[in-house]
Amino acid sequence: MSSSTHSTIGDLQTLIDKARENAVEEVYMTQASKLSTQMNGNLNAREIFKMLHDYPQREYAEPEPLDAKGKPLKKDPKAKPKKKGKKVIFPTPEWALELDDVVK
């Protein structure tokens, strides 16, 4: 089984160019162009398949447990609620206190 490689596609393209210079029948030129396109597509497909095959397996986190209705289970009611962090309030500069100063 022969498979297309960059070198065989390059060789075919060289032969197509020579045939074009020698004014070969258009029927043969069409077939050669079609063959070249198919070989490029085959090579591209094999390269993509190899990249997908070599891609590492992903690890996913365990899904949350669901109840019978498919809703997430409620957390322990005795558990303490999480504390929310304090919001940082940035001080307003003195020049920004008056609207006229800000417009200037």
Contacts of 86 by beta carbon, 8 Å cutoff, 6+ apart: none
**Overall average pLDDT of the 32-38 stretch:** 88
* DSSP summary character for residue 98: S
Q: Is the pLDDT of residue 104 over 50?
A: yes
For residue 87, the model assigns a pLDDT of 77
Instruction: Label residue 12 exposed, middle or buried (CB < 10 Å: 0-12, 13-18, 19+).
Output: middle
Could you read off the pLDDT of 42-75 as tens digits, one per residue? 899 999 999 999 988 888 888 888 888 888 877 6
Evaluate if residue 1 carries a pLDDT over 60.
no
Quickly count: other Cβ atoms within 10 Å of residue 31's Cβ. 11
CA distance 87 to 104: 30
